[in-house]
C-alpha cells in the first residue's frame, strides 16, 4: 500500500493460501489483483515480497527461487522476517537471475492480519536491508530507493548484526512484557485488585504483550542464540537489582534509575523503531454525556485516525481527562492543533 501510494510500483498482485485474505485484500485496496497460483502471479514480476510467518518464509522463498525463470530480468526478491540469519544465508545461494535481499521493516504493531494493513506504517520507520555478500549492488540501490520513496529510513547491515540488535530492542522486550503480564495474571487469580489496578502505566509498558503469539513464539526460537545471551545478562542485572534493594543501597538505586532515564530521554521520540510507537495526548473535557463522541467526530472530520481512547478521570461536577493515542506523529500533531483551535485544554503530549 505504501509503495503504491508513493508511486514506487504500479500494480500489486497478491498471493495467499487463504481465499478470505485475498478477498479482503482486494476490498481494502491492498492489492490490485488476487492470484491463487504462484507461477501465474510471478510471471514478469519485478519485485517479489514474501510477507509470511517465519516458519514458512524459507520454504516459500525456495518455491520462488525454483520459478525465477518466469520473473522479469533483474528481478528483486525480498522478505520481511524479524530474524535474518538463516534466511539470508540460505536464500542468497538459491537465486541466480534474480537478486535476493533480506529485509525487515521495523514498523509492526501488536495488531496483525490484513485488517491491520496501513499505508502509513512505513512513514519515518527504519527499514533494515540485509543483503548477502553476493547481492547485486544495482538491485540493492533500486530496492533502497523504492523504500525511501515510500517514506522509510533504510539502514544496511549484516544479518548477524541485525539479529543481535533486534534481540535486545525487540525480542527480549516482548519476552519481558509477556512475563510481567503473566505474573499479574497469576496474582489476580487470588485477588481481583491486580486486574482492577492494572491500567495506565502497566498497560503502556506491557502493550506489546498483545502481539501475535504465533509470530513471537517463532521469532523466539529463530533468534534463540542471541536471545539466550541477553536473557543471561538480564538475569544478572535482576540479581544485582535484587541485592541493591535488599541491602538498601539508595545511592546505587538512584544511579540505576537516573542512568536509565537519561539514556531513554536521548532516544528519538519522533521516529519509528522495532517497537511500534504510540503518540498520546491527554485532553481535559467536561464530564458530560457525548464528549467522547464529540472528540472522535471532530478529529474524524479532520481526517485524523485515533488509535485508542481511554478515560483517565471522570468525577461528578469536575472535568474528565481523555487519553488519545495515535499511530503517527502527523496525526498526533494535527489532533493537538484541532483540539486547541476548538478551545480544548491539553494537559500532556507525549
Alpha carbon separation from 4 to 124, 281, 329 (Å, rounded): 17, 31, 22
Q: Does residue 321 or residue 104 have the better pLDDT?
A: 104
Q: Does residue 76 or residue 109 have the better pLDDT?
A: 76
Mean of pLDDT values over 10-17 = 93
Residue 45 has pLDDT above 80, yes or no: yes
Are the C-beta atoms of residues 167 and 226 closer than 8 Å to each other? yes
Residue 339 has pLDDT above 80, yes or no: yes
pLDDT in tens, 249-269: 999 999 999 999 999 888 765
Distance CA 260, CA 112 (A): 31
- Residue 34 burial (CB count, 10 A): 18
Residue 99 has pLDDT above 90, yes or no: yes
Q: Does residue 347 or residue 134 have the better pLDDT?
A: 134
Of 159-163, 335-339, 343-347, the poorest mean pLDDT is in 343-347
Assigned C-alpha cell, 9: 510500483
What order of strands is seen across the sheet that includes strand 126-131?
47-50, 76-79, 99-105, 126-131, 153-156
The domains of the chain, with CATH numbers, are 2-157 (3.40.50.720), 163-266 (1.10.3660.10), 279-349 (3.30.70.260)
Q: What percent of the chain has pLDDT over 90?
A: 55
Of 43-52, 233-242, 299-308, 324-333, the poorest mean pLDDT is in 324-333
Are the C-beta atoms of residues 51 and 25 closer than 8 Å to each other? no
pLDDT of residue 272: 54
Q: Does residue 313 or residue 106 have the better pLDDT?
A: 106
Give residue 277's pLDDT band: very low, low, confident or very high (50, 70, 90).
Answer: low
Mean of pLDDT values over 296-308 = 87
Distance CA 348, CA 225 (A): 41
Mean of pLDDT values over 130-140 = 89
Alpha carbon separation from 17 to 7, 38, 132, 229, 346 (Å, rounded): 28, 10, 29, 37, 47
Distance CA 314, CA 284 (A): 10
Cα first-last separation, the chain? 28
Are the C-beta atoms of residues 174 and 211 closer than 8 Å to each other? yes
Distance CA 272, CA 123 (A): 8
Give residue 76's pLDDT band: very low, low, confident or very high (50, 70, 90).
Answer: very high
Residue 200 has pLDDT above 70, yes or no: no
- Cα 202 from chain centroid (whole Å): 20
pLDDT of residue 314: 44
Residue 317 has pLDDT above 50, yes or no: no
Assigned C-alpha cell, 141: 540501490
pLDDT in tens, 103-130: 999 876 656 778 878 888 888 889 999 9
Burial label, 318 (beta-carbon count in 10 A; 0-12, 13-18, 19+): exposed
Amino acid at each position: 500500500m505504501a509503495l503504491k501510494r508513493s508511486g514506487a510500483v504500479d500494480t500489486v498482485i497478491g498471493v495467499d493460501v487463504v481465499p478470505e485474505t485475498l478477498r479482503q485484500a482486494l476490498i481494502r485496496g491492498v492489492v490490485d489483483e488476487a492470484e491463487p497460483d504462484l507461477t501465474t502471479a510471478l510471471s514478469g514480476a519485478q519485485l517479489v515480497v514474501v510477507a509470511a510467518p517465519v516458519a514458512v518464509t524459507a520454504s516459500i522463498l525456495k518455491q520462488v527461487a525454483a520459478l525465477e525463470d518466469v520473473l522479469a530480468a533483474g528481478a528483486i526478491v525480498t522478505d520481511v522476517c524479524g530474524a535474518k540469519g538463516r534466511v539470508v544465508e540460505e536464500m542468497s545461494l538459491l537465486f541466480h537471475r534474480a537478486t535476493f535481499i533480506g529485509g525487515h521493516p521495523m514498523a509492526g504493531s501488536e495488531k496483525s492480519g490484513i485488517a491491520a494493513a496501513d499505508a502509513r506504517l512505513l512513514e519515518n520507520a527504519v527499514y533494515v536491508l540485509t543483503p548477502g555478500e553476493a547481492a547485486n549492488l544495482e538491485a540493492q540501490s533500486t530496492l533502497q530507493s523504492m523504500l525511501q520513496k515510500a517514506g522509510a529510513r533504510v539502514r544496511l547491515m549484516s544479518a548477524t548484526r541485525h539479529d543481535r540488535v533486534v534481540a535486545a530492542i525487540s525480542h527480549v522486550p516482548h519476552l519481558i512484557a509477556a512475563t510481567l503480564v503473566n505474573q499479574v495474571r497469576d496474582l489476580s487469580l487470588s485477588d481481583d485488585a491486580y486486574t482492577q489496578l492494572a491500567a495506565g502505566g502497566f498497560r503502556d509498558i506491557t502493550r506489546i504483550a498483545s502481539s501475535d503469539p504465533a509470530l513471537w513464539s517463532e521469532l523466539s526460537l529463530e533468534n534463540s542464540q542471541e536471545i539466550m545471551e541477553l536473557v543471561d545478562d538480564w538475569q544478572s542485572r535482576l540479581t544485582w537489582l535484587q541485592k541493591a534493594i535488599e541491602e538498601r543501597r539508595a545511592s546505587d538505586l538512584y544511579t540505576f534509575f537516573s542512568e536509565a532515564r537519561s539514556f531513554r530521554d536521548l532516544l528519538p521520540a519522533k521516529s519509528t523503531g522495532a517497537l511500534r510507537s504510540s503518540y498520546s495526548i491527554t485532553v481535559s473535557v467536561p464530564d458530560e454525556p457525548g464528549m467522547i463522541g464529540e472528540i472522535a467526530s471532530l478529529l474524524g472530520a479532520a481526517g485524523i485516525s485515533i488509535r485508542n481512547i481511554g478515560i483517565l478521570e471522570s468525577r461528578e461536577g469536575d472535568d474528565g481527562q481523555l487519553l488519545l493515542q495515535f499511530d503517527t506523529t502527523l496525526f498526533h500533531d494535527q489532533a493537538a492543533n484541532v483540539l486547541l483551535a476548538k478551545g480544548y485544554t491539553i494537559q500532556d503530549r507525549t
